[in-house]
Amino acid sequence: MRVPVLALLGLAACAAPPPRVAKPEPPALDIADSWVDPTADTPPRGKRPTRDRAAALHDPSAQVIAIRHATIMTATGKIVEGGTIVLSGGAIAALGSDASVAVPAGARVIDGTGKFVTPGLIDAHSHLGVYAVPFAHANDDGNEATAPVTAQVRAQYGYSPQDPAIARAIAGGVTAALILPGSANLIGGEGFTVVMRPGRTSDEVAFPGAPRTIKMACGENPKRVYGGKAGPSTRMGEYAAFRAAFNEARGYLAKQAAYERSRALWLKKKTRAAELDARQTDAKLKVKVEPAPEVPPVDLRLETLAGVLHGDVLVQIHCYKASDMAEMVAVADESGFKIRSFHHALEAYKIRDLLAARGIAINTWSDWWGFKLEAFDGIPENTALVTQQGGRATIHSDSAIGIQRLNQDAAKAMAAGRAAGIAISDDQALRWVTANPAWVLGIDDITGTLEPGKRADVAVWSGSPLSVYSRAELVIAGGEVTYDRSQGATPSDFELANSATQRVP
Amino acid sequence: MTGASKTAMTAMTTLALAALVTAGAAPAAADTIAITGATIYQRSDRKLDNATIVIRDGKIAEVDAGVAVPAGATRIDGKGKTVTAGLIEAATQLGLIEVDAEESGNDGRFGNQPTEIHAAYRAIDGYDGRSVAIPVARTGGVTSAITGPIGGLVAGQTAWVSLADAAAPLAPIRAPAAMVIALGRNAMPAGSRGQTVERLRELFDDVDAYRRNRAGFERNASRHLIGQRLDLEALIPVLDGRELAVIRATAEVDIRAALAIAAERKLRIAIVGGAEAWRVAPELAAARMPVLLDPTENLPGDLGALDVRDDNATILARAGVAVGISTLDRPSAARTIRQLAGIAVAQGLPWPKGLAAITEVPAQIYGGAAERGTLERGKIADVVVWSGDPLELTSRAEAVIIGGAVQSLVTHQSRLLDRYKTLPKP
């Protein structure tokens, strides 16, 4: 290919004199190419249609709801006592003191006396829908544990929007979550940001406007899963494999760039040849142009990793130990991507300076520890220490039980921080389960706080959400009531025959 | 158990002994302690305002409003504080599981096969009183625990241990505390629920056969028995009704099987797990069979036990069943039992029953109510001073007293906090 390219470059550089006729060339074998490309009718590769940010903030069918006389915890630093919040068209229309906010005519008015209103809770780490209940092999869809790098898979493909756990999470005040593949693989696949509500299909519950995310994992899990197979069997092998994967992605990108370049050149050649041929009277002397460069094959695994290198995909990494997190930062630096957040991150407090300086968030529990060796140094003050350092922390669940009480876990982390002399306000504790996970998911411009113009993702609590005795009474996602305690939870399709779900709790 | 871990355990026991001998000359328990002016829950349903509790010789000497502080007593100002009996984690593997995911940190977990019979296994033989999880449990006000094996048809015998510093391995409160038996999915990965019931009946029949024919057994003149000699021996007190059997059962059908076996054999049985127990509440109440449960278990996770609900504890208690609350085998989470009790209260359980579920009820179930579970005169002084409501998330255990001795609340975790409160230079 190289020679004709050079030849043509030379040709193009001359100010278009007609080609010198040295001696007539022998005629080419004139065989008609009757082959028809059988794939010519294949439709072009499409993008999965997703609803955009505007859809997250506008639902014309949503009713107008006004909650009056409540304590409104906005997760912006402001708590309004005796406040009113108005939801309209799927967004927050107004909020403030009772006196300052007018209730629109025709609104459903809810008396919030003694109640607390917060943003809907957001779980930055859930496996709902990909490990649906009942716990059965048939429902194990969270770990594509066939190779350590499966960047091509997506949690959305395996998501069951009728997981019975969804209704229970909603009853815990949750309005959105990041559904992640498990941590068997180094790169387990793309996450799926969902509106927490049941549905018929995954597309119906995809959070509108949420950016792509990817799940990676380091430490004990991948080496346990692959140690007996082809590896990696050590942390050394894991970090080498991460580097190899991103090297491969770079090679893939280089091949694509080379293709784009040679195709652009080829197109120029064809254009030029057509110009020259138009002036050529001797049909035997048409300019020869080599065949179009071959399109490199599409590799979906590397496509996703290329997206990571381009910064289109938010990187979410399961890591427990400080040393592991630091190794992943090194991998990211060398490979050329940014880490959005570490998940579990029990030793984040040891490197909270590094994490804060890098703007890397952590998602963790208040007091889980000790169930595995890399979790041995977990401490209840982790969240508070990271926050005190100026880092961004969330309380996540990683559990179909824990997601039902994210607010309680935040309260425990707050109490541990205060006991250690770290001033954590109620609003700050609430941010751990609202505004901060919204940022981790890249939807903080849409939801996560109570502010006019934001999505109507709201939970109404029987008392302070930081008390063990409080329960969510009303949960609203995008203006739609997803849970009303007086009506009881909506059972999943699976549970329609269960007597337990026939009763109002 | 591997040879290496046996060696490690021998070394551990020796160390623990040495520690006790050193401390033994002047145990802190000899001190007289007075907690004054506190809100004291003498029992879960008996609240004393502005009251004082006096602890002497490891026992509760006085408790009431207007009790005088003895001269020379160590005084703890209880103003604004709440005092309760020490919490009891009623079904755990504390001291048996150090690190769940690691073989070397794991004792007393057997395979889920109905052929696994380990009745002679005694948790106390493998119990590590110096587990790092024990001080962490204490920070949650947990002063004693019933720890034991799980897995198989008969996992073995639990021990009720004090969580006091270093003393526990040498002085169990009660060992054995109960025999752990499992039915249904708890004893089998797949196959037949009926099989576990059938195997259990056969095993009990074999214990009878063995008792009748010990001499023949020794001469090898016995029909085949499914248990080994020590396992059969260990089951005799259970069949005599002298030792409690805790039956791990989730599904209604398994709980009904437990009720039937208890009636047939006149056994003392407590249900552990019991996610569908609410469906059998009147029968459990009539049989006086208590249930130890985790009130967060509300997922229809088991295809044989789909009818689970948030207010299991509430329904059982209303029917008159004694309800205990436990993490159910999560030793690193033992400190969260008070939150679990609070969750049950949020789901409708009356508050006193919530407190009782982690104090009085476990003490009653395991036959130790005369000594523990409440703060009545003469009982062992397992006492916790809380900053507020013990079931509330923001309250903390400020002082933990076990057997009359104020316990250290220093843990692996608090040491890490101290070390990293100020970061080292990079």
The string of DSSP letters for A368-433 reads: ---SSGGGTT--TTHHHHHHHTT--EEE---STTGGGGHHHHHHHHHHHHHHTT----HHHHHHTT
User: Is B402 in CB contact (< 8 Å) with chain A?
Assistant: no
Residues of B in contact with A165 (CB under 8 A): 299
User: Would you say residue B30 has pLDDT above 60?
Assistant: no
Nearest to B300 among A133, A370, A405 (CB): A133
Helix (H, G, I), strand (E, B) or coil at B60: strand
Taking CB atoms and an 8 Å limit, are A380 and B394 in contact across chains? Answer: no
- Residue to substitute from B96, B132, B306, interface A, most A β-carbons within 10 A: B306
Taking CB atoms and an 8 Å limit, are B345 and A468 in contact across chains? Answer: yes
CA–CA distance, B43 with B83 (Å, rounded to integer): 10
Buried-exposed string A238-253: b where 16+ CB fall within 10 A, e elsewhere:
bbebbeebbebbbebb
> CA–CA distance from A319 to each of A49, A381, A401, B399 (Å)?
32, 18, 21, 35
What is the structure's pLDDT at A43?
80
The model's confidence at residue B52, banded by pLDDT at 50, 70 and 90, is: very high
More reliable by pLDDT, B130 or A195:
A195
User: Is B298 in CB contact (< 8 Å) with chain A?
Assistant: yes
Nearest-CA distance A417 → chain B (Å): 10
Nearest-CA distance B287 → chain A (Å): 24
What is the structure's pLDDT at A35?
67
Residues of A in contact with B393 (CB under 8 A): 408, 411-412, 415, 466-468
Quick one: CA torsion of A150, A154, A160, A163, rounded to 10 degrees? 80
Which residue carries 């302070």 as its tokens?
A464
Of A454, A407, A482, give the one whose Cα is nearest residue A167: A482
CA A236 to chain centre: 28
Taking CB atoms and an 8 Å limit, are A353 and B309 in contact across chains? Answer: no
Nearest-CA distance A462 → chain B (Å): 10
The A residues from 104 to 143 touching B (CB cutoff 8 Å) are 133-136
CA–CA distance, A353 with A6 (Å, rounded to integer): 54
Residues of A in contact with B112 (CB under 8 A): none
User: Is B426 in CB contact (< 8 Å) with chain A?
Assistant: yes
Nearest-CA distance A463 → chain B (Å): 11
Whole-prediction pTM: 0.92
Nearest-CA distance A494 → chain B (Å): 10
Q: Where on the phi/psi map is residue A352: left (φ > 0), alpha (ψ -120 to 50), or beta?
A: alpha
**Closest residue in chain A to residue B349, using alpha carbons only:** A469
Share of chain B above pLDDT 70, in %: 91
**Which residues lie closer than 8 Å to A233 by C-beta, 6 or more apart?**
A223, A226, A227
Tell me whether the omega of the peptide bond preceding residue B352 falls within 30 degrees of 0, making it cis. Answer: no
Taking CB atoms and an 8 Å limit, are A469 and B345 in contact across chains? Answer: yes
Helix (H, G, I), strand (E, B) or coil at A118: strand
The model's confidence at residue B185, banded by pLDDT at 50, 70 and 90, is: confident
Task: Find residue A122's DSSP bridge partners.
Answer: A176
Let me know if B212 is exposed, middle or buried by CB neighbors in 10 A (0-12, 13-18, 19+). exposed
Share of chain B above pLDDT 90, in %: 82
CA–CA distance, A303 with A253 (Å, rounded to integer): 9
Residues of B in contact with A420 (CB under 8 A): 417, 421
Residues of B in contact with A500 (CB under 8 A): 307-309
The B residues from 82 to 101 touching A (CB cutoff 8 Å) are 98-101
Quick one: CA torsion of B235, B237, B241, B244, rounded to 10 degrees? -70
CA–CA distance, B10 with A389 (Å, rounded to integer): 45
Taking CB atoms and an 8 Å limit, are A405 and B343 in contact across chains? Answer: yes
Nearest to B299 among A164, A354, A466 (CB): A164
Give, in degrees to the nearest 5, the angle at Cα A398 between A56 and A390.
75
The B residues from 378 to 397 touching A (CB cutoff 8 Å) are 391-396
Tell me whether the omega of the peptide bond preceding residue A26 falls within 30 degrees of 0, making it cis. Answer: no
Residue B273 parent element (H or E): strand B269-273
Taking CB atoms and an 8 Å limit, are A468 and B342 in contact across chains? Answer: yes
The A residues from 333 to 372 touching B (CB cutoff 8 Å) are 349-350, 352-354, 367-372
- 10-residue block means of pLDDT along chain A (505 residues)? 40 51 62 68 82 93 97 98 98 98 97 98 98 94 98 98 97 98 98 98 97 98 96 98 98 96 93 88 85 93 98 98 98 98 98 98 98 97 98 98 98 98 98 98 98 98 98 98 94 86 50
Contact pairs from chain A to chain B, CB under 8 Å: 126
CB atoms within 10 A of CB A55: 15
Residues of A in contact with B100 (CB under 8 A): 370-372
**Which residues lie closer than 8 Å to A26 by C-beta, 6 or more apart?**
none
Residue B137 parent element (H or E): helix B133-138
Nearest to B417 among A401, A420, A494 (CB): A420
CB atoms within 10 A of CB B285: 17
Which residue carries 């997506």 as its tokens?
A154
Nearest-CA distance B42 → chain A (Å): 23
User: Is B334 in CB contact (< 8 Å) with chain A?
Assistant: no
The B residues from 335 to 364 touching A (CB cutoff 8 Å) are 335-336, 339, 342-343, 345-347
Task: Find residue B174's DSSP bridge partners.
Answer: B160
**Which residues lie closer than 8 Å to A238 by C-beta, 6 or more apart?**
A186, A218, A219, A222, A223, A232
* Pair B107, B125: CB distance under 8 Å: no
User: Would you say residue B23 has pLDDT above 50?
Assistant: no
Taking CB atoms and an 8 Å limit, are A165 and B299 in contact across chains? Answer: yes
Buried-exposed string A176-214: b where 16+ CB fall within 10 A, e elsewhere:
bbbbbbbbbbbbbbbbbbbbbbbbeebeebbbbbbebbb
**Which residues lie closer than 8 Å to A196 by C-beta, 6 or more apart?**
A120, A166, A169, A170, A174, A175, A176, A177, A477, A482
The A residues from 205 to 264 touching B (CB cutoff 8 Å) are 220
Q: Where on the phi/psi map is residue B367: left (φ > 0), alpha (ψ -120 to 50), or beta?
A: left
Helix (H, G, I), strand (E, B) or coil at B103: helix
User: Would you say residue B5 has pLDDT above 80?
Assistant: no
**Closest residue in chain A to residue B395, using alpha carbons only:** A415
Taking CB atoms and an 8 Å limit, are A420 and B297 in contact across chains? Answer: no
> CA–CA distance from A406 to each of A4, A412, A470 (Å)?
65, 10, 12
User: Is A419 in CB contact (< 8 Å) with chain B?
Assistant: yes
Indicate the range of A201-210, B107-116, B154-163, B237-246 predicted with least confidence: B107-116
User: Is B190 in CB contact (< 8 Å) with chain A?
Assistant: no
Tell me whether the omega of the peptide bond preceding residue A18 falls within 30 degrees of 0, making it cis. Answer: no
Nearest-CA distance B14 → chain A (Å): 25
Taking CB atoms and an 8 Å limit, are B420 and A349 in contact across chains? Answer: yes
User: Is A415 in CB contact (< 8 Å) with chain B?
Assistant: yes
What is the distance between the terminal CA atoms of chain A, rounded to a whole angstrom?
74
Which value does ipTM take for this structure?
0.92
What is the structure's pLDDT at B333?
97
Taking CB atoms and an 8 Å limit, are A164 and B393 in contact across chains? Answer: no
Quick: pLDDT tens for B346-389.
999 999 999 999 999 999 999 999 999 999 999 999 999 999 99
What is the structure's pLDDT at A121?
99
Nearest to B339 among A370, A376, A408 (CB): A408
Helix (H, G, I), strand (E, B) or coil at B33: strand
- Amino acid present at A382: N
Nearest to A415 among B330, B347, B393 (CB): B393
User: Is B301 in CB contact (< 8 Å) with chain A?
Assistant: yes
Nearest-CA distance A101 → chain B (Å): 32
User: Is B186 in CB contact (< 8 Å) with chain A?
Assistant: no
* Pair B271, B178: CB distance under 8 Å: no
What is the structure's pLDDT at A90?
97
Residues of B in contact with A353 (CB under 8 A): 423, 426
Which residue carries 């793309």 as its tokens?
A190
Residues of B in contact with A168 (CB under 8 A): 298-299
Q: Which two tokens stand for residue A17?
A: 């004199």
* Pair A80, A94: CB distance under 8 Å: no
**Closest residue in chain A to residue B299, using alpha carbons only:** A165
What is the structure's pLDDT at A285?
85
